[in-house]
Structure 1
Amino acid sequence: MYSAGMAITGTGSAAPSVKLTNQNLSQMVETSDDWITTRTGIKERSVASPQESVVSLGTQAALNALEMAQVDPKEIDLVILATSTPDDLFGSAVSIQTAVGATQAVGFDLTAACSGFVFGLVNATQFIRTGVYRKVLLVGADLLSRWVDWSDRSTCILFGDGAGAVVIEATTPDHDGLLGFELCSDAQLSHTLNLAHQGEAKTLVDQTQVSQGSYRPIAMKGKEVYRFAVEKVPEVISKALFRAELTAKDVDWLLLHQANQRIMDAVAQRLNLPRDRVISNLAHYGNTSAASIPLALDEAMRAGKLHANDIIAMSGFGAGLTWGAAIVQWQINQKE
């Protein structure tokens, strides 16, 4: 028995106000609204201005979550930022920690691409279950527009910017909200989706050389990623459900990483879940990587879709390749 259980007590989100529509993209590359919508389900995506950042969006999402949870930032013990696009390569979690006023907390970044929020949720839960921390702020935020090749039709239509956050608090062990999880990673297909460093040799002295450069834009082999997701995501959800001693019939809501509507539909079909049980806001935000699950979760919460004791099957999947699932029993109003 764990010393404590976990409960999500607040959700929040934030996205840039500027929208890039499919019609806008058709003026940039050879595409159309129909072509994009048919293949992805995306109609528009938010893109950050030069003045916006992972920290600014993540901070707003975090403040919204703290307000819902009615938690003073000074009570937060830990801040985890799931991101692949930090403002500072050394990490941006501490900047969000400072911005929200979590003066008693420690912060660190976690990188697992589009699986980042699920990986972060599981990490946060372990700190709570062992009694080390009692209140954790988990933020998922990415600005993928920074790393998109806007002349590449295969990728520029997919990605957007955004942030989502949850407050996770300790509760009694018998009200633990994380019922089961499964996390996976495998680099054998990493070439199908990456944002790789590209350096050139620079001679320092004599025969001593180093590599200096920057990062290439996002590169993706869409068909291979699609096949990977459709095969692995139902499998990992089923494993997490098994650990939770549940089946797909017990699931009230399927909340997947918002990558492609066709992927979400295929996963739901394989799990025999009706489409009206799939939470989706992909059409308006595109693929926001680690932000996609908490952003959709917050919208569903504020729309009144989620009710106490609902079973939510969450799954993230993406670059690495990484994938994972978490089975959560919704207990937002149940604190210790």
Structure 2
Amino acid sequence: MKRPTDLSPREAFERYLNARKTELTDETLVTYRYRLKLFVEWCERQEIETVDELDGWILDQFESARSGQNVASYTLHNEMDTLQAFIAYLERIEAVGDGLAEKVHVPDVPEDEQSRETKLDAERAIQLLQHYRTSDRYGSKYHVLLEVAWNTGARLGGIRGLDLRDFDAGEQSLEFAHRPETDTPLKNKLNGERIVGIDGSVAKAISTYIRTNRADTHDDYGRQPLFSSLQGRPITNTLRSWMYRATFPCVHQPCPHGHSRPTCDFTNHSSSSQCPSSRAPHHVRTGSITWHRDCGVPREVVRERVDASQDVIEKYYDKASKRDRMEQRRRPHLQKLTFE
């Protein structure tokens, strides 16, 4: 029988991901696979045949190699953090010596780089939504996807998992449910389940979409997805492309980059992410959460609504500028400090 120390880096890598399948979402597993694949391929180029050969020097060499490729500090931090967890697993199965995981250096990230500043600004989001609500694009998949994402602050995976039954027009709500057995898990699993109230205008737009533009199809499990395509439930990348297209600035104004929409390459499905002004679902979520906070929605309400901890919201999503914080959150309280 093969000993753990005889595993090749690739064999150990596959074994590790298989062991984590029950506790990680498919999306997270894909992320881990990409990060660790870089390490495995590097080991193979260095002719490292078994994990037993790994030591602190080899791990340091890998970090130096990645640093030399000018990757962002936050990216390197995440890659080394994932590698450390992988090495800790190898320790547990006695494939490497005790203490090797502690020798993985996980670099700190400068505070000003700990979160991305890119977001869909509230002003742009509102302009886009106002246009959609008064144009012939009303009730389109692009319009309604943006309405739902902006109003709920939900992750793309949560939006993808919505079924027709999860929308209650009367109650004006959307229910996010963890359904991993039918390919729509939530990031925080059962803890991420929630019913989110939506604005009446959003509910009306969803109803119009369902009545006039939704493809009447089922997914591979017989469920009726809220956002559907002719093939059933769209894959994540398809929804991501829809969001890029939904946030094109040329939807409601002349192109700020000097392009003509009929001939612009960015309007192609495969190139939509390359438009400098389009925004990914994560950017919409970031902008939405900031907007919620700027509108005075309490932190604890935002936390439950978007399924994120208060610490994560403050650190990664709440992107109000210092002046915004003063004007919109602190100034209303100044009267409490007046003693004249």
* TM-score (norm. length: structure 2): 0.24
More strand per residue: 1 or 2?
1
**The structure with more radius of gyration:** 2
Larger relative contact order (Cα-Cα within 8 Å, sequence gap ≥ 6) = 1
> What is the TM-score normalised by the length of structure 1?
0.24
